[in-house]
Copies of this chain bind each other. A is one copy, B any other.
Amino acid sequence: MEGDVPSKKAAKKAAKAAEKQQKKAEHKGPVQAQNDEPDISEGKYGTYKLIQSDGSYMEREYVDVKDMGEEFAGQNVWVRARLQTSRAKGKQCFAVLRQNSATIQLLISVNDVREVSKQMVKFTGNISKESIVDVQATVVKTASPVESCTIKDYELFASEIWIVSAAKTQLPLQVEDAARPETDDPEALKIRVNQDTRLDNRILDLRTPANQAIFRLEAGVCRLFRDILTKKGFVEIHTPKIISAASEGGANVFTVSYFKSNAYLAQSPQLYKQMAIAADFDKVFTIGAVFRAEDSNTHRHLTEFVGLDIEMSFKHHYHEVMETIGQTFTDIFRGLQEEFASEILTVGQQFKVEPFKFLDPPLRLEFPRAIQMLKEAGVTVGEEDDLSTPDEKLLGRLVKAKYDTDFYILDKYPLAVRPFYTMPDPNNEKASNSYDMFMRGEEILSGAQRIHDPEVLTQRALHHGIDISKIAAYIESFSFGCPPHAGGGIGLERVVMLYLGLDNIRKTSMFPRDPKRVTP
């Protein structure tokens, strides 16, 4: 094997030689050629040739912006970061370097000791914003805090600066503008970047500190969800997105051309989760794309979103499952508080974020109780009606006022408003063994005990006027012995939006899809 991989030592030697050669080649580059005066910074700035893995600079190590502090004070370090801004004025250029959510001030000033020429200062002032640069600099404690940067107590004094990848000079949006705090100030509103401009230029928009934080937190939600359930003995499964028939009548389903026939995109993994239960996997979860061909252009609908789905067999009562799901939520909320405090803070610097409150164990209300609370607040709701979105929001406020929680479970929905496969309540013919879960008054999970008996399922389907022949395979699934089970589906983007208190689901989908948008 050694014969195939060059040793590290040899690689370093080759790299050093290549670095020398490359530098020679580059300081004859276009930038220096424009200046007639002798340049003491020759070979210390310019544009790298395309990084094509030729072995250059391989021994060079870099320090992360977020780590700049006492540990590196007085040291000469290399940094690779974006040039967020630069202003050259005479013999000085002030710049800001950004790496993910961290920023630091960079000073390039004409200096004989550091061998910084006015040509180098001018060069730096002309580098286009958002370009990626390699900077060699000394880490220096600042006299007074740099309020505009996340690293306030240290700045960098540059001795080399090289463009790694240049951004074009005309950007469709300025990251600084996209990162401005939300405010009602009319002057500030003028330079606010609107949602469509952001999404059309998502690569730039995603570079804002808030977006860097939002999507790291979103990854955290998925990780916590999986880790919590794995510890409880759940098995992760993968369910097909391409399906042969729409499970509930075919409304709101996307059609796919499938070789010489048609197929559909799954609106949820429910049938497959249930099959996994019938196949003895006991407790399963799956994370994946789900599709809704709904022409809804609202702040909380997407045509494609990430579903976090759970299905679990139980022994006696569906509350075994409902409580497992509820506990999973409180564990996720606690995990976010503990592990993502800095991300939550960063998001809060741009958006108005109210801390998310929850109880442990979570609050469970029964549907009739909710109706009663709404009635007491002056809203007329039928006892067998579903809640409208405004009623849900009002209920969220009432629950928050009374119980001081942004999360709760609403149990025992009317049978009439739930899908045919929902298990009826054995003690109340108008109720069902089903539940929704809410965050800040918006539904983020819908779930229920499913009917696991083919005969009862057939009766209920007939009652709903469903053509039995079309769901024969679904019903058949329960004829080989199936344990009682319940579950639910969660929309990832909604959870993140509502946890952070954001106003639009497009803020929590990296590349959102809605009826009017399938790009980028």
Task: List chain A positions with a Cβ less than 8 A from chain B.
Answer: 1, 4-5, 15, 50-58, 60, 62, 80, 82, 99-100, 130-132, 164-168, 171, 202-204, 206-207, 211-212, 215-216, 218-219, 222-223, 226, 230, 235-244, 254-259, 263, 265, 272, 275-276, 278-282, 287-289, 291, 293, 295, 303-304, 306, 315-319, 359, 361, 363-366, 369, 403, 423-427, 433, 449, 452-453, 456, 473, 477-484, 492, 509-511, 513, 515, 518-520
- Separation of A39 and B315 alpha carbons in the complex (Å): 28
The answer to whether A510 and B235 touch (CB under 8 A), given A223-B230, A295-B259, A480-B168, is no
The answer to whether A280 and B519 touch (CB under 8 A), given A4-B364, A53-B316, A236-B219, is no
- Contact in complex: A492, B5 (CB < 8 Å): no
17 contacts between A and B (CB under 8 A): A1-B403, A50-B456, A52-B423, A82-B280, A132-B483, A164-B483, A165-B453, A165-B478, A206-B281, A219-B237, A222-B236, A238-B289, A240-B289, A242-B254, A255-B256, A256-B257, A258-B518
A257 CB contact (under 8 Å) in B99, B242, B254, B510: B254
A480 CB contact (under 8 Å) in B15, B54, B130, B281: B130
Nearest chain B residue, comparing its CB with the CB of A51: B484
The answer to whether A244 and B56 touch (CB under 8 A), given A202-B279, A238-B510, A295-B259, is no
- Separation of A427 and B53 alpha carbons in the complex (Å): 9
- Contact in complex: B206, A276 (CB < 8 Å): yes
- Contact in complex: B315, A62 (CB < 8 Å): yes
- Separation of A319 and B1 alpha carbons in the complex (Å): 16
Looking at the assembled complex, report how far the CB atom of A451 sits from the nearest CB atom of chain B, in whole angstroms. 8
Nearest chain B residue, comparing its CB with the CB of A321: B53
Q: How many subunits of this chain does the assembly comprise?
A: 2
Q: Please, which residues of chain B bring their CB within 8 A of the CB of A275?
A: 202-203, 206, 511, 520
Nearest chain B residue, comparing its CB with the CB of A133: B481
- Contact in complex: A206, B279 (CB < 8 Å): yes
The answer to whether A316 and B203 touch (CB under 8 A), given A171-B480, A481-B166, is no
Q: A240-B289, A259-B293 are in contact. List 20 more A-B contacts (CB 8 A).
A: A50-B456, A53-B433, A53-B484, A55-B316, A62-B315, A130-B480, A203-B279, A206-B276, A207-B280, A226-B226, A238-B509, A239-B511, A240-B511, A242-B303, A254-B256, A256-B256, A259-B515, A275-B520, A288-B289, A477-B520
A366 CB contact (under 8 Å) in B4, B131, B211: B4
Instruction: Name which of A1, A168, A481, A484 has the most chain B CB atoms within 10 A of its CB.
Output: A481
- Separation of A89 and B509 alpha carbons in the complex (Å): 63
- Contact in complex: B53, A168 (CB < 8 Å): no
- Contact in complex: B480, A510 (CB < 8 Å): no
- Separation of A519 and B245 alpha carbons in the complex (Å): 9
Nearest chain B residue, comparing its CB with the CB of A427: B54
Nearest chain B residue, comparing its CB with the CB of A277: B203
A53 CB contact (under 8 Å) in B215, B218, B295, B423: B423
- Separation of A452 and B456 alpha carbons in the complex (Å): 59
Q: Please, which residues of chain B bring their CB within 8 A of the CB of A207?
A: 279-280
When A and B form their complex, which 10 residue pairs have the shortest distance between CB atoms, in order from nearest? A206-B279, A167-B481, A219-B236, A52-B426, A51-B484, A244-B518, A54-B426, A53-B317, A255-B257, A53-B318
- Separation of A279 and B520 alpha carbons in the complex (Å): 13
Looking at the assembled complex, report how far the CB atom of A220 sits from the nearest CB atom of chain B, in whole angstroms. 9
- Separation of A240 and B203 alpha carbons in the complex (Å): 15
Q: Please, which residues of chain B bring their CB within 8 A of the CB of A164?
A: 483-484
- Contact in complex: B1, A520 (CB < 8 Å): no
Q: Please, which residues of chain B bring their CB within 8 A of the CB of A265?
A: 256
The answer to whether A263 and B518 touch (CB under 8 A), given A212-B280, A316-B57, is yes
- Contact in complex: A479, B255 (CB < 8 Å): no
Nearest chain B residue, comparing its CB with the CB of A134: B315
- Separation of A430 and B279 alpha carbons in the complex (Å): 52
Q: Please, which residues of chain B bring their CB within 8 A of the CB of A280?
A: 82, 99-100, 206-207, 212
Nearest chain B residue, comparing its CB with the CB of A236: B219
Looking at the assembled complex, report how far the CB atom of A330 sits from the nearest CB atom of chain B, in whole angstroms. 13
Q: Please, which residues of chain B bring their CB within 8 A of the CB of A510?
A: 237-239, 272, 276
Q: Please, which residues of chain B bring their CB within 8 A of the CB of A240?
A: 289, 304, 511, 513, 518
Q: Please, which residues of chain B bring their CB within 8 A of the CB of A255?
A: 256-257
The answer to whether A359 and B453 touch (CB under 8 A), given A236-B219, A513-B240, is no
Nearest chain B residue, comparing its CB with the CB of A317: B53
A316 CB contact (under 8 Å) in B51, B236, B369: B51
The answer to whether A167 and B479 touch (CB under 8 A), given A53-B426, A275-B203, is yes
Instruction: Name which of A206, A240, A254, A403 has the most chain B CB atoms within 10 A of its CB.
Output: A240
- Separation of A478 and B520 alpha carbons in the complex (Å): 14
- Separation of A425 and B53 alpha carbons in the complex (Å): 8
